[in-house]
Structure 1
Amino acid sequence: MRFTIKTFLKLGTAYQTIFMLFISATLFSQENAEEKLLLLKASELAVSDPDETIKIANHLLKKAKSEENSVAINLLIARSYDTKGDYFKSVNYVFEASKNFRIVNDSLKAEILFLKAEISRKLHLYNQVDSYLSDISFAISGLGSREIKKNIHARIDLEKTLVDLERTHYKETLKRLGDIEVKYNAVLADNYGLIQNLSLIKALSFNGLNDYKTSEKNFEKALSEYHSQKKTNIILETEILNGLSKIYYERKEYLKSIDTLLMALDKATKINNIPLLEKINYQLAVNYLALSDKPRYQQYNDKFLLLNTASIEMEIEAVNSMYNFIGEEQEANYKYEKDKLVRYSYIALAFLMLIIFSFTVLYSINKAKRKRLKEIIGYLEVTNNLLVKSYVDKKEPNKKIAIPTETEQSILAKLKRFEGSTKYTNKDMSLATLAAHFDVNTKYLSEIINKHYQDNFNTYINRLRINYIIEKLKNEPEYLNYKISYLADESGFSSHSSFATVFKSITGIAPTIFIDLIGKEVNKKKA
């Protein structure tokens, strides 16, 4: 059977179908029919039975006869773990696929970057999302098919919309959706998966704006569109059911809300998606509390607390893993570029004009580095103020957790005093430790940090630590002579590698390069 672009675009959800298109076009082109069928089956099951997909993909991985085949299969496994909500394993497999990034075709490069962007969004690493989406636009510049390019650009815009949604910028989300519907009208006409995503995002946005009537209408539209396709997508269906249950709860239709949540719970349990199960159990607990059914409230609240702990631990593990992989990739890219420059330099020795050109390039690179350093220093000089004042200038987002105003202001004041100290350099600093120090619960503290600093606790502490050591490097010259391991220990990091990874993720360059550039600036001023 021959599959055309339009055939694949009508198979299911937007991300899954385009992913299937790309990998099916490149994988096992010379293999037997049985392996091709297994691949197609695994792709179709990625959003309905991810465990079976992983089992089939691991079987195919053993038989893969090219690096490009291995890349695409690892990406399929990463997608499946993403469906299960296991972001740690998804991160590991997508970066395994990324190891041979340069050798694969542009379509597969785009899929790798898309999954990295999606995982980054779910881990609240929004700067990384922007970076990966920009890389996608560059990666597909050589694609010949205008239809595929149009679909990919629609997905890029949709991903940006999801970032707005997760940051509770509901009005901006709806505006962006309107622009997408106008700009990609032809794409949407042929892609029911994208339409389902748009309806779901609209429903969630109106729900965030407390427009429950419009929200319910869009949830029901998304559910109707989903059922009309007759393609199982547990994540999509569960999110719709969970959204509808919240509307029933707001209308005090608690039994109807519970029935809907139990359907969602049954589906989420099949794929053991911890983040989804956490949300559903919380909603069930809230409904039973409203009904004054204390035994069931206790039952589901206990489950929620266990899942919440597991979810937080998994997210921290995934974030740390991602930072490490990003650091390794940046080091590899730096080495690749450096080796390439060395090869060009050898060739340039034979040609006078190329030698002149090489010197010009080196001068430009150094100039760019100095400019980059000034930008970084300028950014870091205002980071501390922005870190504390950011909540003053932003609109009040809809609260995920109801926190009394007096408690909220008290926590913010304590955070400000905390930032003025150096307690964040304590290696044992954790969300639980700081919450205990503030005499508040961890959920309140985490919510305040997410709301006012747009970062999770891990990133918030890491930024304070990096800002601290940057100030030391800028204002105390002796720090320029210290080893990286000392700087890591001084700023509160447990290891040289974790310090280097986080430093690079925040400033954009490795600490050794940063120190070298600051040293040159100091010597230049002395001269």
Structure 2
Amino acid sequence: MKKETLTKNIQILLILLFSVFLKAQSGPDFNILADKAFQKLYQNPDDCITYSLSILNSDQNIEHKIILRNIISQAYAMKGDYLQSVNIASQREEFQEKKNLSYFMQVFGDYNLADQYQNLDLYRQSQKIIFDLLSEDKLVRSDNKIMRILIAKLYQLQALNLGINRNPASALENLKKSDQYIDYHNEENKITSLENKIFRSSYLMQQSKPEEAKKILSGVILSIEKQNDNPFLSALAYENLSRYYFVKGDYNSAINELEKGLSEIENLSYNPLKYRIYASLSKNYLALHNNEKYHQYNKLYVDSRAQIDVSTKEAIRYIVKLVENSQNKSLEFQKQNQSSRFWILASIFLLIIVSLFIYFLALKSKNKDLKKQFEFFEKQKKKEKSIQIQADVPKEDEILNVNKVSKEKEDEILQKLEEWEETDEYLSKNMSLSMLSAQIGVNTKYLSEVINNTKGKNFNGYINELRINHIAHLLKTEPTYLNYKVSYLAEYSGFSSHSAFTTIFKSVTGMSPNVYIQEISKSRTS
């Protein structure tokens, strides 16, 4: 009997010790696992997805699940599968559970949305979300290590938005702020630091400081080669370094750097980065008049871009739908809250009325005037309800005016269009009325009406004229473009075919692209 009791006591003790051990390990273990998952993002996106899903399926912590879903979402984005990326990132727990999320997770959720917008070329929406977040003192003053790397990534993402909008000075300033929040205590910090250096070199190149850019990139490549486990960043650094040689006119060296980068990721599914390398290779071979290599890489570029364009369009439609559903749910939740408050107040009010009624009945024999006051009160209450119901019904002229664009609204839309035209986003093959509507935050019906009324043409005519004006300006001001074939110029400016580009170019400029190029070339030699 004593032996059995002793055995049971030992078993209980072992169970207690094991449970204490698990509790002690749960926090640090997840941070280590999540950091490893983040590191795999830059080694192999498919491995990252498999690894992160294995943790996700065994972890019941809601905040852990959200972090892992974000990593998986980023992996799909790096593969160019933007629809799946948005789908994974949009999965959320029930509202009753979400409302108890920490402040960090609330900020993290907004960062995720800004990141998704940035991936889909919706830079203005991304920029606004980040600007609002970084305006909070509570956030930027945080000393928490996890919060600080999130702030670093917010500044980095804002730098990308500003760089795409051709504001390299502000982009560099944001990268500088990002660096201030990096402490190198884990892989995520180290990788973010290397990314910042690569992006910094790109913006220095925009500021006509190629030597500074080259020095930074050479240091990054040396650092990555020592680690020998980061193919994505290695390829990204080589791709950026090739731009230095392209600007210098050393096309062979540019091709050499691009081939190094491609060899790093050739067997990995980093499709958007591959597509950029293919585009740069075709451009350099075209400059060397190597038609065979140009056509080889241009075909790879066109095919990969077509797949990414389809994914981008589907993801944009999906995310617009998600935003609309979110807004509808928010409105429904507000209505439910209002309804709930109404019935609580109504119940309290009814209880008061019943109490008063009973009280009045008890005093009926002593004071008849009280009954008259109560009846008058009831009549007044019904009258107020009737007035309120009438006030809530919209007037006929108000209904008729809902869909009309006011002069103030038209001016606001025109201002947004003017700012948008400076971003060159109209060169994207994905550009559509719904995408432009999403980018500048204007209803498609209003946008179409304003374009038709003020630009004197429909949406397609408006976009095509912007594209032709852009490429015509480049041909005038950038001699390198005079060496490119018309098919490349058509692809570069966002047209689906050589013939469509030629037709529209002639309708806008009055001459074919070849004649225009000849005229520009003559004016340069004369």
Task: Provide the TM-score with structure 2 as the length reference.
Answer: 0.60
Equivalent position to 1:44, from 25, 28, 39? 39
Structure-to-structure mapping, 1:120-269, within 5 angstroms: 120-133=117-130, 136=133, 141=138, 146-148=143-145, 149-178=147-176, 180=177, 185=180, 187=182, 191-227=189-225, 230=227, 232-269=229-266
Cα distance, 1:416–1:442 mapped onto 2, change above 3 Å: farther
Match runs of 1:9-28 below 5 Å: none
Contact 2:210 2:244 in 1 (8 A): yes
- C-alpha contact (below 8 Å) 1:72/1:97 kept by paired residues: no
CA distance in 2, matches of 1:423, 1:194: 44
Q: Which residue of 1 aligns with 2:328?
A: 331
CA distance change for structure 1 residues 303 and 430 in 2, over 3 Å: closer, same or farther? farther
Q: Report the CA distance between 1:421 and its aligned residue.
A: 5.3
Taking a change above 3 Å as real, the CA distance of residues 209 and 195 of structure 1, as seen in their structure-2 partners, is same
Whether 2:61 is the aligned partner of 1:77: answer no
Q: Deviations over 1:95-146 (max 9, x none)?
A: 0147664343333333332222122112221232134325656999599962
Specify the code of the residue in structure 2 equivalent to 1:58.
L
Match of 1:288 in 2: 285
Which residue of 86, 98, 101 corresponds with 2:81?
86
Shift of 1:302: 1.1
C-alpha displacement at 1:274, in angstroms?
2.4
**1:274 equivalenced with 2:303 (yes/no):** no
Separation in structure 2 between the aligned mates of residue 276 and residue 225 of structure 1, nearest angstrom: 20
2:111 matches 1:114? yes
CA contact (8 A) 1:257 1:287 kept: yes
Residue ranges of structure 1 left out of the alignment (5+ in a row): 1-26, 402-414, 448-527
What is the aligned counterpart of 1:342 among 326, 332, 339? 339
**1:426-447 deviation digits (Å, cap 9, x = unpaired):** 9xx99899999xx994642579
State the distance in 2 between where 1:28 and 1:318 align: 40
In structure 2, distance between residues paired with 1:243 and 1:197: 12
Question: Counterpart of 1:444?
Answer: 493
The 8 Å contact of residues 83 and 235 in structure 1, kept in 2 or not, is answered as: no
Instruction: Indicate which of 297, 301, 309 corresponds to 2:298.
Output: 301
> Does structure 2 retain, via aligned residues, the 8 Å contact 1:173–1:205?
yes
Cα separation, partners in 2 of 1:269 and 1:329, compared to 1, 3 Å = farther
Quote the RMSD (CA, aligned, Å). 4.7
CA distance in 1, matches of 2:55, 2:181: 36
**What is residue 380 of structure 1 aligned with on the other side?**
409
User: Which of the residues 42, 46, 55 maps onto 2:50?
Assistant: 55
Identity %: 17
Q: Is contact 1:70-1:97 (8 Å) kept?
A: no
Cα deviation 1:427-485 (Å, max 9, x = unaligned)? xx99899999xx994642579xxxxxxxxxxxxxxxxxxxxxxxxxxxxxxxxxxxxxx
**Which amino acid letter does the alignment assign opposite residue 47 of structure 1?**
Y
Which has more radius of gyration? 2
Instruction: Flag the 1:430–1:249 CA change in 2: closer, same or farther, 3 A.
Output: same
Kindly indicate whether the alpha-carbon contact (under 8 Å) linking 1:278 and 1:304 is maintained by their aligned counterparts in 2. yes
Change (3 A) 1:132 1:99: farther
Query: How far is the alpha carbon of 1:384 from its aligned partner?
Result: 4.5
Change (3 A) 1:391 1:301: same
The count of residues paired between Structure 1 and Structure 2 equals 381
CA distance in 1, matches of 2:93, 2:267: 29
Contact 1:281 1:303 in 2 (8 A): yes
Q: Deviations over 1:379-415 (max 9, x none)?
A: 62214433665589x6x989999xxxxxxxxxxxxx9
Quote the Cα distance in structure 2 between the aligned partners of 1:85 and 1:110.
Answer: 25
Question: Are residues 400 and 211 of structure 1, via their aligned partners in 2, closer, same or farther at CA, if it must alter by over 3 Å?
Answer: farther
Shift of 1:295: 1.4
Residue identity in the other structure for 2:410: E
Cα pair 1:248 1:256 within 8 Å, conserved = yes
- Deviation track 1:323-375 (CA, whole Å, cap 9, x = no partner) reads 111111222222223322333333344668xx9xxx9xx9xxx9xxx9xx9xx
Residues 258-292 of structure 1 show CA distances to partners (whole Å, capped at 9, x for unaligned) of 22211211233333222211110111112222333
Counterparts of 1:138 and 1:99, CA distance in 2: 28
SS of corresponding position for 1:292? coil
Q: Give the Cα separation in 2 of the matches to 1:297 and 1:285.
A: 5
